[in-house]
Amino acid sequence: MTISRKKEIECPRCGYRSTMIVWSTINAQLNPEAKKDLLKGKINLFQCDKCDFSAHLTTALLYHDMEKEFLTQYFPFGRTENSLFLSQFTEDGKFVTEVSLEKDAPEHFKNVHYVFSMGELISYIIFRDRLAQRKASIRQGYISCFSCGNSVENGEHYYCVSRLREIKIDADEETKDQIVEAMSSLQICATCMARAATEEIEFTELQLPLLNLEKQGFYRYAKWHTGKAVEWEPIVKGRDSCSLCHAAIDAGDIYTRVQIGEELGNAKGVETEEAHTLAILCESCAQNYLVWL
């Protein structure tokens, strides 16, 4: 349900009374235009017709996305100073109506996300939209750029920073070690790669922050790859010591290789055309390093 009403508001600056639409609930599917205005910061924004004064109303707003199955409730933060308002919540932050819902109510009705600023509300909605887009692209087998969010089509090159947990077999540099776990931490399309060589692109599709080891490694690689810098050199050989603490890595030890590769997706799967090692991490440093994610 989407609920709005017309209300006459007196300007706190000049006293002129203007009529505006005040929203108390927005349903993303039933009123997509209201969602667009919300993300632009226009919902419940009072603008005086006489003196151009503007400010957001201190009006609670419930946002419901039926497709992505989440509810977000905005309350003006000033209400937290009111004991009557606080009495409507349980000790673990659940609203009383959530506790009293019918057993067959949708699960997301029982797990409302509360925010206390309009900026926080907008940020959370964008986060959920991006998260849904990312998960959908993975389910459908698409590769999407972590910077611009665009899909990488079959036959197009892209660049991938991966973490490979490996067991060191022996001291022979030519021996391939056993990979026990692999995950991608950055995927960048060719267009963003070219931009990264001249400016620090933003990884807007990532909901979790990246450690500088990967971000800065990617920027240096981009400049080197495009010929804009020559000072960077990948690790050609050597998994005998950790790049961070310099501890020795012996045969039988598990270590993590942070690797960047130019890849190509096609009907046969993913083909790696070139790969360079950015860093080698001992098990201890890898565990501490992953805490940042």
**Looking at residue 293, what is its pLDDT?**
34
Position with higher pLDDT, 40 vs 202: 40
Residue 223 — φ and ψ, nearest 5°? -65, -40
Q: What is the DSSP letter of 239?
A: -
Residue 231 has pLDDT above 90, yes or no: no
Other Cβ atoms within 10 Å of 85 Cβ, number: 13
Other Cβ atoms within 10 Å of 225 Cβ, number: 20
* CA proximity to 217, closest of 170, 161, 285, 165: 161
Residue 141 has pLDDT above 70, yes or no: no
Q: How far is residue 162 from each of residues 126, 158, 175, 184, 198, measured CA to CA in Å?
A: 26, 13, 20, 4, 23
Position with higher pLDDT, 95 vs 292: 95
**Looking at residue 244, what is its pLDDT?**
85
> Which positions ≥6 away from 227 have C-beta within 8 Å?
none
Amino acid at 78: G
**Looking at residue 291, what is its pLDDT?**
45
> What are the DSSP calls for 21-90, one per residue?
EEEEEEETTT-HHHHHHHHTT-TTEEE-TTT--EEE----EEEEETTTTEEEEE--GGGGG-HHHHTTB-
Query: In terms of DSSP H, where are the helices of 57-205?
Result: 83-86, 96-99, 118-139, 190-196
**Looking at residue 292, what is its pLDDT?**
40
- Mean pLDDT over the full length of the chain: 83
Q: How far is residue 239 from each of residues 38, 119, 181, 216, 255, measured CA to CA in Å?
A: 51, 46, 17, 21, 8
Separation between Cα atoms, residue 272 and residue 37, nearest integer Å: 43
With cut-offs at 50, 70 and 90, classify the pLDDT of residue 270: low
Q: For a pLDDT cut of 90, what percent of the chain falls above it?
A: 32
Residue 271 has pLDDT above 80, yes or no: no
Residue 266 has pLDDT above 50, yes or no: yes
**Looking at residue 204, what is its pLDDT?**
56
Other Cβ atoms within 10 Å of 44 Cβ, number: 22
Q: Show the tokens assigned to 165.
A: 């947990």
**Looking at residue 203, what is its pLDDT?**
66
* CA proximity to 142, closest of 28, 3, 25, 265: 265
**Looking at residue 142, what is its pLDDT?**
67
Instruction: Summarize pLDDT for 60-115 with one digit per residue, the tens.
Output: 999 999 999 999 999 999 999 999 999 999 888 888 876 566 677 888 888 899 99
**Looking at residue 99, what is its pLDDT?**
58
Residue 129 has pLDDT above 70, yes or no: yes
> Which positions ≥6 away from 234 have C-beta within 8 Å?
221, 276, 277, 278
Instruction: Summarize pLDDT for 169-221 with one digit per residue, the tens.
Output: 988 877 888 888 887 777 888 888 888 887 767 765 454 445 667 777 788 88
**Looking at residue 220, what is its pLDDT?**
83
* 254-266 and 178-189 strand pairing: unpaired
Bridge partners (DSSP) of residue 188 are 159
Position with higher pLDDT, 206 vs 16: 16
* 269-282 and 3-10 strand pairing: unpaired
What does the pLDDT average to over 249-257?
91
